[in-house]
Amino acid sequence: MRETTPAAMPPCFDRWCKKFDNLLKTKAQKREFRHYVGGLLGESERKNVSQMARDAVEVTYHKLHHFLTESTWSADKINDRRLEVMNKCSQTRISRGFSVSRFILW
């Protein structure tokens, strides 16, 4: 049974994803980025491409897999932007005595 639809995501999800849009070159990359992040945030116990595609409406294994393995985007640039965005928010800002390690998207 498919659990997630793009319309079910809260408005803040798309606003957050838009902060990465200029690092992604095509509409397809932007769409699959949202599908991938949505899959990571989803309720499924398994966070693999196959399970993400099964759990979400309008997500196909082939397109998501292609985005992660063949598409031209930089995981380092995405991660740097993620840390930058987190540091701008008072709830996720790095404070004294704490550090945030690198988060690997793939």
Q: Which of 11, 14, 13, 20 is nearest to 82 (CA)?
A: 20
The Cα 88–Cα 93 span in angstroms is: 6
Q: Which tens digit of pLDDT belongs to each residue from 47-73?
A: 899 999 998 888 999 999 999 999 999
What is this structure's pTM?
0.80
Q: Which tens digit of pLDDT belongs to each residue from 8-32?
A: 788 889 999 999 999 999 999 999 9
Collect all residues with Cβ–Cβ distance below 8 Å to 26 and sequence separation of at least 6.
none
Q: Which tens digit of pLDDT belongs to each residue from 87-96?
A: 887 777 676 6
